[in-house]
A and B are shown apart, each in its own frame.
Chain A
Amino acid sequence: MSADIFLQFDFPSILLGSLAALCCGLLGNFLVLRRQSLMGDAISHVVLPGIVLGFLITGTVDSLPMMLGAGFAALVSVGLIELVRRLGKVEPGAAMGVVFTSMFAAGVLLLEQTGAAGVHLDVEHALYGNLESAIWLEASGWGDLLRPEILAALPVSVLRLVVVNMAVIAFILAFYKELKLVSFDPLFADTLGISSRFVGTLLIVMVAVAAVAAFDAVGSILVIAMFICPAATARLLTDRLSTQLILSGIVAFSSGIVGYVFAAFGPAWIGYDMSVSAAGMIAVVAGIIQVVAMIFAPRYGVIARRRLQRA
Chain B
Amino acid sequence: MTFLESFLGALTLNAGYNTAVVSIGAALLGAASGAVGAFVLLRKRSLVSDAMSHATLPGVVIGFLAGVWLLGDGRSLPLLLAGAALTAGIGMISVDWIKANTRLTEDTAIGTVLSTFFALGMVLLTVLQSLATAGQAGLSGFLLGSTSGMLSSEAMTIAIAAGVVALIVLALFKEFALLCFDEDFAGSTGLGVRRLDIALLTLLLAVVVIGLKTVGLVLVIALTIIPPVAARFWTERVSRFVPISAAIGAAGSYAGACLSASAPDLPTGALIVLILFALFVISMLVSPVRGLLSALLRHRRFQKIVHLRQGLLAVAHDEPILEPITRKLLIRRGYVSGDMRPTEAGWSAARRIDRDQALWNLWREEYPDEAHALADWSLKPIDEVLSPDMVADLETRLAPHDAARAAGGAA
The answer to whether B119 touches A280, judged by C-beta atoms less than 8 angstroms apart, is: yes
Pick from B54, B112, B228, B276: contact of A94, CB under 8 Å = B228
**A271-296 interface with B by 8 A CB criterion:** 272, 274-277, 279-284, 286-287, 290, 294
How many residues on A have C-beta within 8 angstroms of the other chain's C-beta atoms? Answer: 62
Tell me the B98-131 residues at the A interface (CB within 8 Å). 98, 101-105, 107-108, 110-112, 114-116, 118-123, 125-127, 130
Range class of the B interface residue count? 35 or more
Q: Is the CB of A102 within 8 A of B273?
A: yes
Cβ-neighbour of A224 out of B111, B125, B127 (below 8 A): B111
CA distance A106 to B222 in the complex (A): 13
The answer to whether B102 touches A108 (Cβ under 8 A) is no
- B115 contact set on A, CB distance < 8 A: 41, 221-222, 224-225, 228-229, 283, 287
B225/A97 in contact, CB under 8 A: yes
Q: With A104-B218, A105-B222, A284-B116 in contact, do A228 and B101 touch (Cβ < 8 Å)?
A: no
Complex: chain B residue closest to A262, CB-CB: B123
Residues of B216-230 whose CB lies within 8 A of A: 218-219, 221-222, 225-226, 228-229
> Given the complex of chains A and B, what is the CA–CA distance between A3 and B399 in angstroms?
105
What residues on A are CB-neighbors of B101 within 8 Å?
294, 302, 305
A152 at the binding interface (Cβ < 8 Å) = no
Q: Is the CB of A224 within 8 A of B46?
A: no
Chain B hits for A37, CB < 8 A: 105, 107-108, 110-111
Q: Is B144 an interface residue (CB 8 A)?
A: yes
Contacts A97-B46, A236-B104, A294-B98: A287 and B274 contacting too (C-beta < 8 A)?
no
Choose among B45, B98, B226, B233 the residue that contacts A102 (Cβ–Cβ < 8 A).
B226
Contacts of A277 in B (CB 8 A): 119, 122-123, 125-126
Measured between C-beta atoms, what is the minimum distance from B259 to chain A in Å? 11
State whether A280 touches B50 (Cβ < 8 A): no
Please, which residues of chain A bring their CB within 8 A of the CB of B233? 87-88
Expressed in whole angstroms, the Cα–Cα distance for A139 and B121 within the complex equals: 34
Which residues, 243 to 293 on B, are CB-close (under 8 Å) to A?
A: 265-267, 269-271, 273-274, 276-277, 280, 284, 290, 292
Residue of A105, A228, A282 with most chain B CB atoms under a 10 A cut-off: A105
Chain B residues with Cβ below 8 Å from A78 are: none
Contacts of A282 in B (CB 8 A): 119
Is B143 engaged at the interface, CB distance under 8 Å to the other chain? yes
Query: Are B119's CB and A287's CB within 8 A?
Result: yes
On chain A, the residues within 8 Å of B46 by CB distance are: 90-91, 93-94, 97
A82 contacts partner chain B, Cβ-Cβ < 8 Å: no
Name the one of A35, A94, A284 contacting B123, with C-beta atoms under 8 angstroms: A284
Cβ of A53 to closest chain B Cβ, rounded Å: 15
Verify B119–A283 contact, CB threshold 8 A: yes
- In the bound complex, how far is the Cα of B114 from the Cα of A203, in angstroms? 23
CA distance A64 to B7 in the complex (A): 39
Q: Given B102, B125, B140, which contacts A302 in the complex, CB threshold below 8 Å?
A: B102
The answer to the question of B213 belonging to the interface, with a C-beta cut-off of 8 Å to chain A, is: no
By beta carbon, the residue of chain A nearest B281 is: A102
> Given A96-B47, A236-B103, A276-B127, are A38 and B225 neighbors across the interface (CB < 8 Å)?
no
Shortest C-beta distance, B261 to chain A (Å), equals 16
In-complex Cβ contact of A112 among B116, B265, B273 (8 A): B265
Asked if residues A280 and B120 are in contact (CB atoms below 8 Å), the reply is: yes
Cβ contacts under 8 Å, A106 to chain B: 270, 274
- A32 CA to B226 CA, complexed, in Å: 25
Q: Would you give 18 A-B contacts (Cβ < 8 Å), ordered by A?
A: A37-B107, A37-B111, A38-B111, A88-B232, A90-B46, A93-B45, A94-B47, A101-B218, A101-B222, A102-B274, A105-B271, A109-B267, A123-B218, A127-B122, A222-B115, A283-B116, A284-B120, A287-B112
Q: List residues of chain B with CB under 8 Å of any chain A CB.
A: 41, 44-47, 49-50, 54, 98, 101-105, 107-108, 110-112, 114-116, 118-123, 125-127, 130, 140, 143-144, 218-219, 221-222, 225-226, 228-229, 232-233, 265-267, 269-271, 273-274, 276-277, 280, 284, 290, 292
Q: A-B pairs with the 9 shortest C-beta distances?
A: A287-B116, A280-B122, A283-B119, A225-B115, A97-B225, A101-B222, A105-B273, A102-B277, A228-B111
**A positions within 8 Å CB-CB of B:** 32, 35-38, 40-41, 45, 84, 87-91, 93-98, 101-102, 104-106, 108-109, 112, 123-124, 127-128, 221-222, 224-225, 227-229, 232, 235-236, 263, 272, 274-277, 279-284, 286-287, 290, 294, 300-302, 305
